[in-house]
Amino acid sequence: MKHITWVTLNLVIVMYLFQAVVTCNARAMGSAQKLRVLAAKYHVTSILVFGDSSVDPGNNNNLQNTWHKGNFLPYGKDFGHSHPTGRFTNGRLSTDIIAEALGYRNITKAYLDRNLMEEDLLHGVSFASGGSGYDDYTANVTNVISLRKQLDYFKEYKIRLRKLVGEESSHMILENAVFILSMGTNDFLQNYYVDPTRSQKFTIAQYQRFLINCMETYIKEMHSLGVRRLAVVGMEPFGCMPLIKTLKNSRKCDEDMNQVALSFNLLLKAKLSALEATLSMRTAFVDIYDVILNTLRNPSKYGFTEIEKGCCGDGLTEFGTSLKGLNTCTDHSKYIYWDAVHFTESMYYIIADEAVKSIITSL
């Protein structure tokens, strides 16, 4: 079977994303229909996601002993009829937008969604869990789903898929799927900088290399499980989060933290190149650092007016369960951040659009 190249696939995605960002009218519906034809032609079967709250569509809803949930308003304020799904934003995530670009679904469903149907398995799911990281100890801090457990769910998914469509078809679906891995911020913000377990053992540079080694181990396991096309999302400039600036009592981004994110991205990108050279796997590094930083520095260019705080509550400190029942700003589209940590759907559109363009550039 002929494989789609990353360049061809992402050209398809960019065609749609550009249309989606510019307009939401009938022409976008026509574009989506064309993409369904293109996706079928190039055997793009599904999107499968691992990661943290940046790509968690609601897996944490079913966890009993964690506060790291988003299944209540004002999360989901602009999702359908104000329906909180567990996504840590007001609407859809970047992976939802990319899934629509592939032409099958306008959302990526959570693997642990109690309403997940067998046919949903055919087009992909997200195993991601808000609060998770490359370091499995990070997930333990907030009692969420570690990357190790996410891979266990993927193994279970493979069994279910095989029972559903048979050995040959399930192999074809996975071989032609697009896998996305998006995490890392929690390893620093809720682990290294807060819990002494890692910071007493590692310097920041040592911990970065430790995370890269963790990532390498998991990517090799993904490859052994049949992953052949993997996009890894880089670290955001987390020193610019409203929460961090509030804690630092500054209106400026924390440059030391941003430098940690930037240097980690360099290590990550180099490791991906090395892995691609030794494994029969196509990899892509999605560099969102500059995309986000550029938007924060030039908000009016993208239609934003507020960069200092999130749309919900005071916008400076609240996220997760502390956000429950709080009021929101009037115009959601003018805010880059939804809460003190997570982005709005408007920002996720920009991340999805620009990140995919950077994939094409890097390839």
Quick: pLDDT tens for 279-336: 989 898 998 999 999 999 999 999 999 999 999 999 999 999 999 989 999 999 999 9
Q: Phi and psi of 250, rounded to 5°?
A: -145, 150
CATH of the domain at 354: 3.40.50.1110
Is 36 domain-assigned? Answer: no
Structure tokens at 32: 């989506």
With respect to residue 1, please indicate whether it lies within any of the assigned structural domains.
no
- For residue 204, give every residue at least 6 positions away whose Cβ sits within 8 Å of its Cβ, in sequence order, or none: 192, 260
Q: In the chain, what percentage of residues exceed pLDDT 90? A: 76
Quote the pLDDT of residue 317: 96
Q: CA-CA distance, 232 to 122, in Å (whole number)? A: 22
Residue in 31, 46, 53, 358 annotated catalytic: 53
> Catalytic: 53?
yes
Is there a domain that residue 171 lies in?
yes
Residue 103: pLDDT band (50, 70, 90) is low
pLDDT (mean) for 53-59: 98
Q: Is residue 4 part of a domain?
A: no
Structure tokens belonging to residue 52:
């943290």
> Quick one: which of 263, 247, 146 has its CA closest to 194?
247
Q: Is 148 helix (H, G, I), strand (E, B) or coil?
A: helix
pLDDT at 33 over 50: no
293 vs 14: which has the higher pLDDT: 293
Residues 6+ apart with CB under 8 A from 259: none
> What sign results for the dihedral spanned by CA atoms 288, 200, 340, 99?
positive
What separation, in Å, do the N-terminal and C-terminal C-alpha atoms of the chain show?
A: 22
Q: Tell me, yes or no, if 3 is annotated catalytic.
A: no
**Whether the predicted pLDDT of 27 surpasses 90:** no
> With contact defined as beta carbons under 8 Å apart, do 271 and 215 qualify?
yes
Domain count, the chain: 1
- Given the DSSP bridges, would you call strands 109-110 and 125-126 parallel, antiparallel or unpaired? parallel
The predicted pLDDT at position 1 comes to 39
Pick the catalytic residue: 342, 346, 353, 358? 342
Q: How confident is the model at residue 161 (pLDDT cuts 50, 70, 90)?
A: very high
Q: Tell me the H-state helices in the chain.
A: 6-22, 26-41, 94-101, 136-142, 147-165, 167-175, 185-186, 196-199, 204-224, 242-247, 255-278, 289-297, 345-362
Structure confidence at residue 280 (pLDDT)? 87
Predicted local distance difference test score (pLDDT) of residue 360:
58
Residue 5 within a domain: no
Select which of 187, 339, 346, 353 is catalytic.
339
Residue 9, domain member (yes or no): no
Give the whole-angstrom CA distance, residue 161 versus residue 170: 6
Mean pLDDT value of segment 248-264: 97
Is 339 a catalytic site residue? Answer: yes
Query: How far is 208 from 76, CA to CA, in rounded Å?
Result: 33
Q: Which domain holds residue 135?
A: 45-362
d(CA 306, CA 309): 7
Q: What is the pLDDT of residue 279?
A: 93
Mean pLDDT of 148-177: 95
**Which long-range contacts link 8-12 to residues 24+ away (Cβ below 8 Å)?**
8/42, 9/42, 9/44, 9/178, 9/229, 10/284, 10/356, 10/357, 10/359, 10/360, 10/363, 11/360, 12/38, 12/39, 12/42, 12/44, 12/101, 12/102
pLDDT bin (cut points 50, 70, 90) of residue 176 is confident
Mean pLDDT, residues 39-45: 55
3 belongs to a structural domain:
no
Where is pLDDT greater, at 17 or 234?
A: 234
Alpha carbons 334 and 105: distance in angstroms, whole number: 27
Residue 253 maps to a domain: yes
pLDDT band at 139 (very low <50, low <70, confident <90, very high): very high
Q: What is the mean pLDDT of the chain?
A: 87
